């Protein structure tokens, strides 16, 4: 099974005030930070960006956009778009607004996913689950995501509650807390 690095970059960045994925940190767009981290992990065979139709030409990578039936449905809609376009792939998912996640952590998630191709591998930090730094896989992944979207419940937690999951604790594995920061406002940038 091929592993696809999926950068989720389809949000509207309303709290940030401009497209986070294109915002430059140290002279480089956040999406490129994530792509470099995925490349450095040596865990993905290919990188794509899951985005909205407004941004579909903004990236230097192949893009998938929201299914017309499920536009603006958040991360679960972006995952569905990727899973539908690449049904035979394992999805190593990283949101574009987590530019400090260590490559070694992505590799650890990926390696854990190799043990069972039907299991989701999620990141945990203390009591907090980071469902957008994870591996999503399974023969029925796209169908399950579509079924969740049809319920109208867009919660990632609601989705993975009904899937076989492994949750790895980043803190227990030496990942610094700041490494998993989710940038929603400019003040979140380290």
Which parts are annotated binding residues for Mg(2+)?
97
Q: Which parts are annotated binding residues for GTP?
A: 8-10, 20, 66, 97
Residue 162 CA to chain centroid, in angstroms? 19
Burial 45-72 (b: 16+ CB within 10 A, else e): eebbbbbbeebeeebeeebbbbbeebee
Backbone angles phi, psi at 119, to 5 degrees: -100, 135
Q: Which parts are annotated binding residues?
A: 8-10, 20, 66, 97
């Amino acid at each position: 099974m091929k592993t696809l690095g999926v950068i989720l970059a389809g949000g509207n960045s309303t709290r940030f005030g401009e497209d986070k994925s294109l915002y430059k940190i140290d002279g480089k767009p956040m999406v490129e930070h994530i792509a470099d981290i995925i490349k450095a992990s040596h865990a993905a065979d290919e990188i794509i960006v899951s985005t909205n139709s407004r941004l579909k030409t903004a990236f230097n990578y192949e893009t998938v956009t929201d299914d017309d039936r499920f536009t603006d449905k958040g991360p679960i809609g972006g995952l569905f778009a990727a899973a539908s376009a690449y049904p035979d792939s394992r999805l190593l998912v990283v949101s574009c607004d987590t530019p400090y996640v260590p490559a070694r952590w992505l590799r650890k998630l990926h390696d854990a996913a190799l043990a069972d191709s039907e299991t989701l591998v999620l990141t945990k930090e203390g009591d907090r689950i980071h469902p957008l730094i994870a591996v999503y896989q399974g023969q029925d992944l796209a169908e399950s995501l579509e079924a969740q979207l049809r319920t109208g419940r867009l919660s990632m937690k609601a989705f993975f509650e009904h899937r076989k999951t492994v949750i790895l604790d980043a803190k227990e594995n030496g990942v610094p807390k700041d490494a998993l920061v989710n940038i929603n406002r400019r003040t979140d940038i380290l």
